[in-house]
Each structure stands twice: as structure tokens, then as C-alpha cells.
Amino acid sequence: MASVVNKIRRWLHTPQGRQARAHAERLARDPRNRARLRGLLNRRGGSSHHH
């Protein structure tokens, strides 16, 4: 599993990875997207709440 993490870490340092990360950060700043993401995480996490 660590090899997958290492591949992702290496990819994040490529121009495509940096661009994707910047795009994700822009999306994360949008309140509607944050609410949608929270909903997805809550559904996947079941009844456990991480506040």
C-alpha cells in the first residue's frame, strides 16, 4: 500500500499533480462543494462523527 502513497506523492510534485491540487483547493473553498463533500463523508462514515 505504501507504494501507492509514494506514487501519489511523486505525482503531486509533477506539473499535472500541482495543477490538480490547486483545482481541488479552489473547489474546497466553495461552500456548496464543502457541504456536498461533508455529506458524502458522513454517508460513507456511517454513524461515527469526527468533530
User: The whole model's pTM is what?
Assistant: 0.50
pLDDT for the residue 47:
55
Percent helix, percent strand, percent coil in the chain, to nearest 5: 80, 0, 20
**pLDDT 10s digit of each residue in the chain, 51 long?**
679 999 999 999 999 999 999 998 998 899 898 888 888 888 876 555 555
Predicted confidence at residue 42, as pLDDT, reads: 87
CA separation for the pair 49, 45 (Å, rounded): 8
pLDDT number for residue 34? 85
Residue environment code for 11-43, b if the CB has 16+ CB neighbours within 10 A, otherwise e: eeeeeeeeeeeeeeeeeeeeeeeeeeeeeeeee
Write down the pLDDT at residue 33. 86
Report pLDDT for 1: 64
CA angle 45, 34, 17 (to 5 degrees): 95
